[in-house]
Structure 1
Amino acid sequence: MMKETALAELVTYIFETQRNSEESVVFRLADLANFYEERLTQLGFSSAQVHSTRLKVKLLQKMPELEAHTKGKYVLLMIEEDIGPTIAFACDNNDTMHMAKTAEMIRCQLATKKTTFSGSLVSEDINDSIAHPLLQLVKLIEHGPDIKSQLDNVSTNSDLALVPLLIFNYHPHTQKVPVK
């Protein structure tokens, strides 16, 4: 009885999450198994060890519109009608979108930060005018995005010089370039 109650609650969770989301929802079987195991323990089930493959079979039986897909070591579950839009979104999400999103995030942080950079590279100005998210981005570009490169290369003089120059040349509003 406890297992059926927890399973019914898990099925309801999947339906409600999918229904209340404006985007496609992908569930990791491991996460669902953890929820199920925690709920069984909470209900007083003494041996709440959950076999995820058996749980997947039960979920697929209860929810015929649910599909399971393997991605490496993960089993991903999603509602059949969401698969097409999810694939289309993944294909449209290219590098240009990532760059635009990154630039927008940095620009938002620059817009809220007051700087004292006067245009000259005096050490006092540099330390006061550093925007840390921008410094992190410069370090990722200059030294590489992997953790080893970041550990080996603390903030260099070139990093510390580039950040204030970028801030000094930052325009909060897009400027129109005159057409000749």
Structure 2
Amino acid sequence: MAKRHILIDPAQPSTSKQSRPPPRTNWELYILCQAETDEPLQCPLRSTMKPSGSGYASLTEDLLQFKGLRHMPMELNVNRLDDGDGVEATLRTHSAQWHKKCRLKFNKKMFDQQSRAESASGQQSSTGTSPVHTRSVASHRLPQSTEPICFFCNKPAGTADLHEAATKEIDKNVRRCATELGDTELLAKLSAGDMIAIEAKYHRNCLRALYNKIRPAALKDEDADRLHGIAFAELVVFMEDMHADEDNAPVFKLSDVANLYKTRLEQLGATVTNKIHTTRLKDRLLSVLPDLRAHSQGRDTLLLFEKDIGPALKKACDHDSDAMHLVRAAQVVHREMFQTRFTFDGTFHADCQKYSVTPSLLALVNMILDGTNSKH
């Protein structure tokens, strides 16, 4: 059989085994080990987490890291997972799936161990010292351990037991904490799927420590709410004290009340970055003070108590009544003056001045001068 001609890359080792083209992948089997077993499978496309298929990106990143090492955790030619569009795109196209135990061999912990082992081996070779092949060195070179580790601290169980994530609530809370804290390493782990699907295990102390990290932020929110509550309570007491004054009927302008509330918040030490929402403040005051009423007057909103509305209206009506009396009197005088006819014949009679003034006008002037007392 004639030999096939291939182009040799000088940067690659010149062994006949590595010069061969990568074997084809049977995508119906499990892509890492190419074996068919009854063990549970993982497929990012079946995960409920968003974005769909994000597990392919993390696997591709890990595989390409291991590709740069001299030894792989298991016999795997990464080139066979690339149809020409890149490893990640190829995995998505074929809906690739794998065993969990195979995936664990290509994680960050294994990569760090293998990198340190090869780095130490390289230093020993450069100094001419033959490495001592012990069992521990071999285990670093070809890590085969699949001992469960904590999802948070990456350490095995030790003296504390590992607990498996069994509820969606844990996954939800962990994602919320990771997002609020900006923990990129934890978010990267969560991108592989939800904690139940990837069968994540954790120390209870590690989970508790994560929750405690966001507790100070929650306490700050509680302190702010407490200061707002104190300032609002003092504002209510101030308005009630003003209302208790029997000599005055207080009328509050909503904008002034909001400024008073903001000033008190600043005095208490609260940070007020935004303008006080006057409508919400008004609604809170109306709910706490049942007798308080709000009335719009142009662009302003006036707040006053209901029992003060009646006297204010009565006072306004009294002013209106006086004005109406003046108008009525003027109408009577005006009508009588224009109904009276005077004829000037060129001479002034003896009583002409007396009769030129109408009785209503004369009576009005007398009442202005002498009052309405009939004894005068």
Deviations 1:59-113 (A, max 9, x none): 011111111110111101111111111111123246x79xxxxxxxxxxxxxxxx
In 2: Cα distance, 1:20 partner to 1:44 partner = 31
Aligned to 1:26: 251
Aligned to 1:84: 310
In 2: Cα distance, 1:17 partner to 1:76 partner = 15
May I ask how many residue pairs the two structures share in their alignment? 102
- Preserved CA contact (<8 Å) 1:24 1:85: no
- Preserved CA contact (<8 Å) 2:253 2:302: yes
In 1: Cα distance, 2:285 partner to 2:295 partner = 13
In 1: Cα distance, 2:317 partner to 2:262 partner = 35
User: What are the ranges of 5 or more consecutive residues in structure 2 without an aligned counterpart?
Assistant: 1-225, 324-369
In 2: Cα distance, 1:93 partner to 1:7 partner = 38
In 2: Cα distance, 1:33 partner to 1:93 partner = 33
User: What are the ranges of 5 or more consecutive residues in structure 1 without an aligned counterpart?
Assistant: 98-175
In 2: Cα distance, 1:27 partner to 1:21 partner = 16
Aligned to 2:292: 66
In 2: Cα distance, 1:25 partner to 1:92 partner = 20
Query: Deviating runs (4+, > 2 A) in structure 1?
Result: 90-94
Deviations 1:124-148 (A, max 9, x none): xxxxxxxxxxxxxxxxxxxxxxxxx
Aligned to 1:160: none
Query: What is the Cα deviation at residue 53 of structure 1?
Result: 0.6
- Preserved CA contact (<8 Å) 2:254 2:303: yes
CA RMSD of aligned residues (A): 2.6
Aligned to 1:38: 263
Query: What is the Cα deviation at residue 21 of structure 1?
Result: 4.0
> Share of identical aligned residues, percent?
39
In 2: Cα distance, 1:65 partner to 1:80 partner = 5
Tell which structure's C-alpha radius of gyration is larger.
2
- Preserved CA contact (<8 Å) 1:2 1:40: yes
- Relative to structure 1, the CA distance from residue 13 to residue 60 in structure 2 (aligned partners, 3 Å threshold; closer, same or farther) is same
